[in-house]
């Protein structure tokens, strides 16, 4: 009996994530899987993301059911076992026999027949074992960092970092958020309602609810937005509300530089809000620069494939966005593979690169202009410590209080979230998954004064 299209797709994607450091969310929407039915694509997504979210718990159960160390197993065999374990433990509607049989067939499909006796024995034990309840209740009952790490399927070193930064309770909220399927947020442009985009999506079967952080955002409650015509035509884009908020904090300017622009969600929003401004969007990697040009077709945006540290111009800008590469620990709920790839030294390594980008961006800010520094990381080495080191080395900049900008956005009807205290940490914006209904972002707003450097 052939393996179902959904499980075959899930297996292939998980293997690429394991071997190529690819991102599951991107692979799920890649062309090889475009022809999957909505039901098969939904199941493939559930299997891929579920396995990645709960990997350490699945591996624990597999190890207990088997006689071999997991490190000795071929990747294909381990992935097939993880798929079965996830279905048996977390998916009540899938018959155990189907989960077991198809995972066994996946081992054979991968030409690992020598492993079939071992896989068969493990699968049988997994199907017969009782499985404890996992999820929000188990996470909430965790008493220590080690206990929370095990129950929430997060690396212990990461839990210990977060506990030191946020405390045990908030760390539990972050973990609970990371282990749930995130809501899909979209943003409407300024002319979306006039053009009937809201009604068009509803007619396509897309059920929307208001944004929880921003009034101009919407959340998708049902159906597959990626198959709706407005999405396929590029008239609506998926973008987390915290990411949208970063673009709003850039504000209005006549000459704008976006330093690390791909894939372009923030660039697109900035262009919509500044239709008559000159915007230069810089991207280091050629393939990402091509993607940026395709996703941001606005005529006032010039896409440049270049290194921010060696831009081929000395132009000064009144608005600069440095949304720098980071560890991504604020987006683990959306990209669960991140938590298994990161190592404890990663925040310090990112710090060096981020500081170089920020200092390069500071050289392009005109007197009186603003620079918005942002990451989707929860780690202080990548956030406040980068900003404070840069400010200490260049006294011509000062840090503005983000709260003032949040109050402006609220007075203008843009901000739906009322608890501004929870959004700020000192002068900085900081969204925390689970505390806020969005990814974790950090923002600092720097102003160039007239002082000499």
Read off φ and ψ for residue 344, nearest 5 degrees: -55, -30
The DSSP element (H or E) to which 429 belongs, if any, is strand 428-430
Mean pLDDT of 21-36: 92
Mean pLDDT of 133-142: 79
pLDDT of residue 453: 46
Read off φ and ψ for residue 84, nearest 5 degrees: -65, -45
Q: Which tens digit of pLDDT belongs to each residue from 39-97?
A: 999 999 999 999 999 999 999 999 999 888 998 999 999 999 999 999 999 998 888 88
Q: Are 19 and 75 in contact (CB under 8 A)?
A: yes
Q: Per-residue confidence at 190, pLDDT binned at 50, 70, 90?
A: low
Q: What is the largest CA-CA distance in the chain?
A: 74
Q: Per-residue confidence at 195, pLDDT binned at 50, 70, 90?
A: low
Mean pLDDT of 271-281: 95
Q: Per-residue confidence at 451, pLDDT binned at 50, 70, 90?
A: low
Res. 236: pLDDT tops 70: yes
Read off φ and ψ for residue 102, nearest 5 degrees: -70, -35
Residue 432's contacts (CB-CB under 8 Å, 6 or more residues apart) are: 166, 170, 173, 174, 378, 440
What is the residue-averaged pLDDT of the chain? 93
Number of alpha helices (DSSP H) and beta strands (DSSP E) in the chain: 21, 13
Any idea what the Cα angle at residue 153 is, between residues 147 and 155, rounded to 5°?
80
Q: Which residue has the tokens 């208001």?
A: 210
Q: Which tens digit of pLDDT belongs to each residue from 166-176?
A: 999 999 999 99
pLDDT of residue 133: 63
Mean pLDDT of 347-369: 97
The Cα 330–Cα 374 span in angstroms is 12
Closest residue by Cα to residue 397 from 336, 347, 447: 447
Q: Per-residue confidence at 237, pLDDT binned at 50, 70, 90?
A: confident
pLDDT of residue 138: 86
Mean pLDDT of 356-366: 97
Q: Which tens digit of pLDDT belongs to each residue from 289-317?
A: 999 999 898 999 999 999 999 999 999 99
Distance of CA 7 to the CA centre of its chain: 24
Res. 162: pLDDT tops 80: yes
Res. 155: pLDDT tops 50: yes
What pTM did the predictor assign? 0.94
pLDDT of residue 196: 79
pLDDT of residue 82: 96
Q: Are 7 and 99 in contact (CB under 8 A)?
A: no
Q: Which tens digit of pLDDT belongs to each residue from 379-437?
A: 999 999 999 999 999 999 999 999 999 999 999 999 999 999 999 999 999 999 999 99
Res. 149: pLDDT tops 90: yes
Instruction: Give the chain's domains with CATH numbers.
Output: 5-128 (1.10.940.10), 136-178 (no CATH), 184-238 (3.30.70.1170), 241-448 (3.40.50.150)
Q: Per-residue confidence at 131, pLDDT binned at 50, 70, 90?
A: low
pLDDT of residue 331: 98
Q: Are 390 and 359 in contact (CB under 8 A)?
A: yes
The Cα 306–Cα 304 span in angstroms is 6
Q: Per-residue confidence at 194, pLDDT binned at 50, 70, 90?
A: very low
* Of the candidate ranges 184-198, 246-260, 436-450, the one whose mean pLDDT is the lowest: 184-198
Res. 37: pLDDT tops 80: yes
The Cα 122–Cα 85 span in angstroms is 10
Return the percentage of the chain with pLDDT > 70, whole number.
Answer: 96
pLDDT of residue 229: 86
């Amino acid at each position: 009996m052939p393996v179902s299209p959904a499980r075959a797709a899930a297996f292939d994607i998980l293997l690429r994530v394991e071997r190529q450091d690819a991102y599951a969310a991107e692979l799920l929407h890649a062309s090889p899987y475009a022809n999957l039915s909505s039901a098969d694509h939904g199941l493939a997504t559930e299997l891929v993301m579920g396995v990645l979210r709960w990997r350490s718990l699945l591996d624990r159960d597999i190890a207990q059911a088997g006689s071999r160390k997991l490190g000795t197993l071929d990747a294909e065999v381990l992935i097939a076992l993880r798929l079965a374990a996830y279905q048996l433990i977390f998916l009540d509607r899938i018959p155990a026999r189907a989960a077991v049989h198809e995972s066994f067939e996946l081992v054979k499909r991968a030409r690992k027949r020598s492993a079939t006796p071992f896989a068969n024995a493990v699968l049988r034990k997994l199907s017969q074992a009782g499985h404890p309840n996992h999820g929000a209740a188990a996470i909430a009952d965790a008493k220590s960092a080690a206990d929370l790490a095990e129950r929430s399927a997060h690396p212990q070193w990461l839990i210990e970092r977060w506990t030191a930064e946020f405390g045990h309770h908030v760390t539990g909220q972050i973990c609970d958020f990371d282990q749930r399927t995130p809501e899909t947020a979209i943003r409407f442009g300024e002319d979306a309602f006039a053009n009937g985009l809201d009604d068009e999506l509803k007619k396509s079967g897309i059920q929307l609810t208001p944004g929880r952080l921003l009034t101009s955002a919407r959340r998708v409650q049902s159906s597959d937005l990626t198959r709706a015509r407005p999405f396929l035509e590029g008239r609506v884009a998926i973008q987390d509300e915290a990411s949208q908020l970063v673009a709003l904090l850039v504000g209005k300017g006549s000459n704008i530089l976006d330093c690390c622009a791909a894939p372009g969600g923030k660039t697109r929003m900035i262009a919509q809000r500044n239709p008559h401004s000159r915007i230069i969007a810089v991207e280091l990697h050629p393939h990402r620069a091509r993607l940026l040009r395709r996703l941001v077709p606005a005529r006032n945006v010039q896409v440049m494939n270049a290194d921010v540290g060696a831009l081929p111009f000395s132009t000064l800008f009144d608005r600069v966005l440095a949304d720098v590469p980071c560890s991504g620990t604020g987006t683990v709920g959306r990209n669960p593979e991140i938590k298994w790839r990161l190592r404890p030294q990663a925040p310090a390594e990112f710090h060096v690169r981020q500081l170089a980008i920020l200092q390069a961006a500071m050289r392009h800010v005109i007197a009186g202009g603003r620079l918005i520094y942002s990451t989707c990381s929860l780690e202080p080495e990548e956030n406040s410590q980068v900003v404070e080191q840069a400010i200490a080395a260049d006294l011509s900049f000062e840090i503005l209080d983000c709260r003032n900008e949040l109050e402006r956005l609220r007075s203008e009807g843009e901000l739906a979230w009322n608890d501004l205290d929870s959004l700020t940490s000192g002068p900085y914006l900081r969204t925390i998954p689970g505390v806020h209904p969005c990814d974790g972002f950090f923002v600092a707003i720097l102003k160039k004064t007239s002082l000499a450097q």
